[in-house]
Chains A and B, each alone.
Chain A
Amino acid sequence: MSMTVTLGREDIVRLCERVEGAQTRAYAIPKLTDEYPNMTIGDGYAVQLELRRRFLAAGHKQVGWKAGLTSKAKMIQMGVNVPSIGFLTDRMARPENSAIKTSDLVHPRVECEVAFVMKKTLKGPNCTRQDVLDATDYVLPAVEIIDSRFSGFKFDLESVVADNGSSARFVGGGRARYPADIDLRTLGVVMEKNGEIVTLGASAAVLGHPAEAIAMLVNILAELGEELPAGSFVMSGGITEAIPVKPGDSIVARFQELGSVSMRFIE
């Protein structure tokens, strides 16, 4: 993956403002490559970095990272062989069993994920699955509420990276576990919407093992000149397909060995 930045500072700021406007005021925009067809993935990350800088300057606190596009089907669909990553802030966190507003989102969807909390700083390149497990304090179940700001959820990798990997909200909860105490590869997961099973799977759907996604995330961070600090909360990518939600919907994600995470959606 090339991290080469081809766009000038002015274009990056312009694209960042466009994404920031769509995120903060909840409206859909055309994918960025419509106007910048030669935009690279490196340009996408430069826009994401600018977005992060602005949020942090406005007082948001970064709590960690997320990996996206971690299933083989999604990677083939996007024509890539590595996940995308995005940053997570305190403003995106919602408590377990809370009511989540949808009026400040464009077209939210929910996914079941295994989340990791790190006790040691990790630095790529060459970070492995075992390095991740050794550096993990505990794992917990999470639901990510993604919300692409692009019309009709239609985007390419360059645009989605600039849009911070469609990050919007997240809910961690359930039961914390030491990774050594459970088989992280074979955890079964069921998502229920309004009491009905809408999607299901097992954690191997994420690159064969969720820790593999975290290792790749650490290696992408290394390419961007960054590390994954101790204390980070990291989501490893959707085990299940993303399910659209609207006001009135209630979601329960049930995980083998990790308990459940629930939330409901309001206007």
Chain B
Amino acid sequence: MNEEKIKQYGDELYEAWLACRPVRPLLEREPEITIEDAYQIQERFVARRVQAGETIIGKKIGATSKPVQDFLGVYQPDFGMLLSGMVYQEGDTIDLATLIQPKAEAELAFVLKADLKGPGITAMDVIRATDYVLPCFEIVDSRITDWKIKIQDTVADNASCGVYVLGKTKGDPRKLDITLAGMVLEKNGELFSTGVGAAVQGSPANAVAWLANTLGELGIPFKAGEVILSGSQSALVPVVDGDELVCTVGGLGTCSVKFAGRSKA
């Protein structure tokens, strides 16, 4: 794919994000887009947000667990960039008017205390480089109409990242069994779904190692202080005005978030 088109689609996704107006699937219009092309489009989309004043503060791993892969019809993990404008605090109310077609995912977030650069990174290196882990919600959102995405569409769209909320309880991965820690997700006081760390590539640390190695191939390191969202341990939860979600990671703690208003689609 030529540079002109990469720029064009990256700009189109940026404008779609800015206006909260979804666009037609890119792959429908350009059947030749490769995954590599899609990451270049993502780079352009993210660069536009950085030009507009945001900073990159971490990474997210997407499509890591079976329920999400089944929903997306995407059977390999992907990644996107976390930007400073995506951050909400525990207990915040998210205004749905700032999103298009949001869905929530309960995850474990890693905060790093050392740089990590692939290739050659294992799960053990991930634990070594981790300052602490937190329960979190990622609110995924698609700039593609009706979530009609293939892997290339979601990759180009910054891995469908919307916003995210970090819980307040910090856990030490040397003391917490992150692989077998249960994940209990409640919506409006009722049980919505349960999961466990192992749902994500056998262990959330495996997913983080995968991304360190994948980014390493591209010459991009994880930096100390970065936040890494390791992938959904729950089913995707559609959210509407008034919804309140709480997730609890066994042995760690909770993260909660409320939603108000109406999303654009």
B172-195 CB mask vs A (1 if < 8 Å, else 0) is 000001011111100000010011
* A72 in contact (CB, < 8 A): yes
A204 vs B182: C-alpha distance when bound (angstroms): 9
B contact residues, total (Cβ < 8 Å)? 19
* Max count, chain A CB within 10 A of own CB: residue among B182, B199, B248, B251: B182
A-side contacts of B194, CB under 8 Å: 201-205, 239
Does A200 contact B195, Cβ atoms closer than 8 Å?
A: yes
Q: Place the interface of chain A in its size category.
A: 20 to 34
A-side contacts of B248, CB under 8 Å: 185-186
A203 vs B248: C-alpha distance when bound (angstroms): 12
* B202 in contact (CB, < 8 A): yes
Tell me the nearest residue of chain B to A258, going by C-beta. Answer: B180
* Max count, chain B CB within 10 A of own CB: residue among A72, A185, A188: A188
User: B185 CB to closest chain A CB, in angstroms?
Assistant: 9
Does B191 contact A201, Cβ atoms closer than 8 Å?
A: no
* A235 in contact (CB, < 8 A): no
A231 vs B187: C-alpha distance when bound (angstroms): 37
Does A205 contact B191, Cβ atoms closer than 8 Å?
A: yes
Q: Which of B195-234 contact A (CB under 8 A)?
A: 195-199, 202
Contact flag A187-B202 (CB < 8 Å), given A200-B196, A257-B251: no
User: A194 CB to closest chain B CB, in angstroms?
Assistant: 15
A113 vs B136: C-alpha distance when bound (angstroms): 27
User: A120 CB to closest chain B CB, in angstroms?
Assistant: 27
B-side contacts of A257, CB under 8 Å: 177, 180, 250-251
B-side contacts of A134, CB under 8 Å: none
* A226 in contact (CB, < 8 A): no
Does B191 contact A186, Cβ atoms closer than 8 Å?
A: no
Does B196 contact A189, Cβ atoms closer than 8 Å?
A: yes
* B257 in contact (CB, < 8 A): no
User: B7 CB to closest chain A CB, in angstroms?
Assistant: 42
* A139 in contact (CB, < 8 A): no
A187 vs B250: C-alpha distance when bound (angstroms): 6
User: B135 CB to closest chain A CB, in angstroms?
Assistant: 11
Does A202 contact B196, Cβ atoms closer than 8 Å?
A: yes
Contact flag A189-B182 (CB < 8 Å), given A183-B250, A200-B199, A256-B177: yes
A-side contacts of B180, CB under 8 Å: 188-190, 254-257
Tell me the nearest residue of chain A to B176, going by C-beta. Answer: A256
Does B191 contact A188, Cβ atoms closer than 8 Å?
A: no
The listed residue (A185, A204, A256) touching B181 by CB distance below 8 A is A256
User: A254 CB to closest chain B CB, in angstroms?
Assistant: 6
The listed residue (B177, B179, B195, B249) touching A201 by CB distance below 8 A is B195
A254 vs B202: C-alpha distance when bound (angstroms): 12
* A208 in contact (CB, < 8 A): yes
Tell me the nearest residue of chain B to A255, going by C-beta. Answer: B180
* Max count, chain B CB within 10 A of own CB: residue among A190, A200, A202, A254: A202
Interface residues of B (CB under 8 A from A): 177, 179-184, 191, 194-199, 202, 248-251
Q: Pick 6 A–B contacts, CB within 8 A, sort by A.
A: A185-B184, A189-B180, A200-B196, A203-B182, A205-B194, A254-B180
What 10 A-B pairs come out closest when comparing CB atoms? A202-B182, A186-B250, A188-B196, A188-B182, A202-B194, A256-B180, A204-B184, A186-B182, A201-B194, A188-B180
